[in-house]
Structure 1
Amino acid sequence: MRIRPNSLGFTLLLGALAALPPLAIDMGLPALKALGTSFNAPPAATGLTLSLFMAGFAIAQLIFGPVSDRYGRRPVLFIGCGVFALANVMCTIAPSIHALILWRLVGGAGAGAAAVLEMAIVRDLFEGAAARTQFSYINLVMSIAPMIAPTIGGLVLTIADWRSIYGVLAVGGLVLVGTIAIGFEESIAHRDQSAISPRRLISNYLRVLSDRICVGYALVNALSFGCMFAYVAGSPLILIQVLGISTTLYGWFFAATAFAIMAGSFLNGRLSVRGVPPSRLLKVGLTLAVVSAIALVLVSISNSVRVITLLPLLVLNTFCFGLIAPNAKHGALQPVPEVAGVAAAVLGFTQMAIGGTLASALVAFFYDGRTAIAMTSVMSLFASAAFAAYATIVRPAEQADRSRLQPLPKQS
């Protein structure tokens, strides 16, 4: 039974593909202590089950994107979800912490295939406002994952051991494999038979990386993600360690900001349907992100850090990510439809490398154990850089492109 591209089921499928990474990361968080005890492993080793998953996720996108331009989205997506399911099965029977780390790396690669192809599929099937709307609703579905994943992991631990968490993830991967086999039709219209030959591969990557509009939007997306991820990395340090709130209250706090992303994504989708230009939505989102991030810095340096002072500004900031991300993703993929897999790979890799890895590393490096300055400063830095990338790279490139396409006046 084929799932129609304009149906709710199709959006949920793409949202599920995009949600694999946060589910696979956040469901395992409650089990880190238990698996460390099980293997008599230090915290540094258990932490590698997360960091190497993210490494596999980031790098695999650079491979699966071009491969899907050659062989099509469906077979590569089928293999990626199959690899994710297999890796999690192997995690359930891992005999050592080293084996678990290895299979988490492989599982990250499978999740990378799902994430990169979700973006390429949208570019294959949708144009303009329809594509931005689709990205908005996928973002909405994906935002549910970090809200429910730790709870699911905790519930599994109450009835079984930590290995069962990976069993649940394996079942999820198998469900996606079955859904793709039964309901997903190939989305790419024309396959590039030489897409993975070394010369063509380099040429395609150079084509994407030399397109200022594509690169500019990829930077806007990655830097905006970095602003949001600085909050994700720093909030438990600030709220639990510095302010001393309970883990239950922190869960509600985190849920409020995740809901804000959902609200921003939903609003962006509705406004896109009504014909509001993406440039207007991006300007509003980027401006409010900078303003809220700078306000957070001022709160931090004035020693006014309280839950009541942080929550409204963080809700506003994460709401902005819901406005920015769908339009930035669409803007990055729109100019290069013939190599959408490569463009999606660049988009996904930069998001994880610049936004995820760099932002979290900066927060960890500058965190002083007493204040929120590290988190809020990194948020402000990335929000300002995203605004600058849009103003100095994207807008001039788009204006130059419009001028080039504008017909010359007729000579009298």
Structure 2
Amino acid sequence: MRIRPKSLGFTIFLGMLAALPPLSIDMGLPAFPTISASLNASSGSVGLTLSLFMAGFAIAQLIFGPLSDRYGRKPILLIGCGLFALAGAACAVAPSINTLIAWRLVQGAGAGAGMVLTLATVRDLFDGAAARAQLSYVNLVMSVAPMIAPTIGGWVLVLANWRAIYGVLALAGFLLLLTVAFGLSESLAHPDLTALQPHRLFKNYTRILSNPICLGYALVNALNFGCMFAYVAGSPLVMLQVFGVSTTTYGWLFASTAFGIMVGSFLNGRLSLRGVLPSRLLIVGLVTATISAVALVIVSVSGIAQVSTLMPLLILNTFCRGIISPNAMHGAIQPVPESAGVAAAVVGFLQMLGGAVASGLVAFLYDGKTAIAMSSLMAIFAIASLAAYTVLARPAEHRLQLSK
């Protein structure tokens, strides 16, 4: 009953692991007002269920990565899925907002194992174009989550109540736990027995962060994720408040940009398998993302910003995310196969940090009248991502190739 690494089922399985964070975030969004009323909590307190989930998700990756280098991917995945399922069940029966917040932190930590070990497992089993294609298809599956999660949450809310949403997440975690236990073979051939020794752990993280190729590609991915998250955080403010679209219309608009990521991921996977160089795909994706983001700024400041003028550029920008992410992630973890868990942890942590900074800045700079804050921050992060590639990652990789 083992899932073969080169099968469609394996890709879907990895995609579902990586989709735990967006599912956990977006499914609960429609229930925020109901949770507030049910637990007699303020809107700010309910919002902490999201903030603490993301904090647990980010920090846990730095722990689970080295643990997986020492004990293997499968045991740590079992722990992560178990934590996620347990926390989901605890959230479903939480008697107070403080209890809910605490268990959401644990749930975020469990989801962090899925993300970091998806990257590490791909590094263990695939190489070169095959690895980039696999990451592309995982990204494609994962991109379905933000498209369907709010709708699923809304349906569950209609049929039952907000607690059932966390029950559904607990069930998803339990099913993934069973899949890992009975369907997944260990992918790490040679565990690092010294990976958790303090000096070794410090050396591994220092080696990743001081490697210009690993750090450069990790920054490319994180800054580009910040560009996308500026849109994720700013789009409900702009579309719902500035342009006054309905929540249903906004859902379709948001789904169209998620579909853009899917198309970009699929195209990247096909082109990678056909031998197109990752450097070529990256530069096209990064330059196009920068141009589309700068165009968003021009449209926003010129006074012609409307849904019809912004959406094509937003879809183009998120399409580029589907091309950039798999190549940048692969570039960050490829040079260090012996420490793939640590490298994946750095990639995941920096990505979440980029998203958190971008979303915080959008909320702080939003003027309540225009799309300028969202578009400007998208442009800043897009330009920074392109700079990280052209100034840091690509020159370092070129020097390494010349030295060989």
Q: CA deviation at 1:216?
A: 0.2
Query: Structure 2 CA distance, aligned partners of 1:192 and 1:147?
Result: 39
Residue number in structure 2 paired with 1:344 = 344
Unpaired runs of 5+ in structure 1?
406-412
Trace 1:157-196 onto structure 2 (pairs within 5 A): 157-196=157-196
TM superposition outliers: structure 1 runs of 4+ over 3 Å: none
Sequence identity, in percent? 68
Deviation, structure 1 residue 395: 1.4
CA distance in 2, matches of 1:385, 1:82: 38
Q: Deviations over 1:363-407 (max 9, x none)?
A: 0111000010000000000000000000000111011101111xx
SS in 1 for 2:204: helix
Q: Which residue of 1 aligns with 2:285?
A: 285
How do 1:10-409 and structure 2 match up within 5 A? 10-354=10-354, 356-405=355-404
1:45 maps to amino acid = S
Taking the aligned partners of 1:258 and 1:38, their CA distance within structure 2 comes to 32
Q: Measure the CA separation in 2 of the matches of 1:8 and 1:332.
A: 25
CA distance in 1, matches of 2:311, 2:87: 38
2-side partners of 1:395 and 1:2: how far apart? Answer: 39
- Counterpart amino acid of 1:329? M
Alignment RMSD (CA, Å): 0.5
After TM superposition, give the deviation of residue 77 of structure 1 in Å.
Answer: 0.2
Deviation of 1:169 (Å): 0.2
Report the 3-state secondary structure (helix = DSSP H, G, I; strand = E; otherwise coil) of the residue aligned with 1:231: helix
CA apart distance, 1:40: 1.0
Q: 1:46, CA displacement in angstroms? A: 0.2
Paired letter, 1:115: M
The Cα offsets for residues 250-286 of structure 1, whole Å up to 9 and x where unpaired, read as: 0110011000000000000000010000000001000
Separation of aligned partners in 2, 1:236 and 1:219:
26
1:205-228 deviations in whole A, cap 9, x for unaligned? 011111100000000000011101
Task: Quote the Cα distance in structure 1 between the aligned partners of 2:395 and 2:128.
Answer: 20
What is the CA–CA distance in structure 2 between the aligned matches of 1:159 and 1:9, rounded to whole Å?
30
Corresponding residue SS for 1:129: helix
Mapped to 2, the partners of 1:404 and 1:272 lie a distance apart of: 25
Q: How many residues align?
A: 404
Aligned to 1:409: none
CA distance in 1, matches of 2:60, 2:214: 20
Displacement, 1:237? 0.2
Alpha-carbon distance in structure 1 between the residues aligned to 2:230 and 2:29: 18
Aligned mates of 1:117, 1:266 — CA distance in 2: 22
- Number of the residue aligned with 1:410: none
Q: How big is each residue's C-alpha offset from its partner over 1:137-167, in whole Å with a ceiling of 9 and x where there is no partner?
A: 0000000000000000000011101000000
What do residues 99-119 of structure 1 show as CA deviations (whole Å, max 9, x unaligned)?
Answer: 000000000000001110000
Secondary structure of 1:55's counterpart equals helix
Separation in 2 of the partners of 1:248 and 1:21?
Answer: 23
For 1:84 and 1:343, locate their aligned partners in 2 and report how far apart those are by CA, in whole Å.
Answer: 23
CA distance in 1 between partners of 2:46 and 2:119 (Å) = 31
CA distance in 2, matches of 1:399, 1:45: 49
